[in-house]
Amino acid sequence: MASVTVLMLGMLAALPAVAAEGVVNINTADAAALSLLPGVGPSTAGRIVEFRTENGEFEAVADLMLVRGIGERSFERMRSYVTIEGDTTLTEKVRIPRAPTGSDDTPGSDDPAGGP
């Protein structure tokens, strides 16, 4: 019976975390709400608010990439959690697991020195 419990716990641990639900309106959210987005901490949230103050409302969610420090990759991680209309409904920090470093198809991944 104990082995079944251990097996079940192991299977549960292997499941991906349930993603947070909701969106952040980048035109109305304060820095605290913006910090709930994946990859956005206090300094990036502050830059979003500063950008919006200096340039007016965002016309499209992709305009977030105009903010210093937000590139294509970071935008793609947060894309499904941002909007330019409606209310902010996201209430918890979105945590997206990082991809494992090194994989079987990485050249030299078997060699600690990274060479062939």
CATH number at residue 84: 1.10.150.310
User: For the segment 88-111, what is each residue's pLDDT rounded down to a tens digit?
Assistant: 999 999 998 876 766 554 444 444
Asked if residue 46 is part of any domain, the answer here is: yes
Asked if residue 9 is part of any domain, the answer here is: no
pTM above 0.95? no
Range of the domain at 84: 30-97
Q: What's the total number of domains in the chain?
A: 1
Pairing relationship of beta strands 82-83 and 24-25 according to DSSP bridges: parallel
Asked if residue 24 is part of any domain, the answer here is: no
Asked if residue 83 is part of any domain, the answer here is: yes
CA trace torsion 66, 74, 101, 21 (10° rounding): 180
User: For the segment 39-80, what is each residue's pLDDT rounded down to a tens digit?
Assistant: 999 999 999 999 999 999 999 999 999 999 999 999 999 999
Note whether 12 and 4 are within 8 A (CB): no
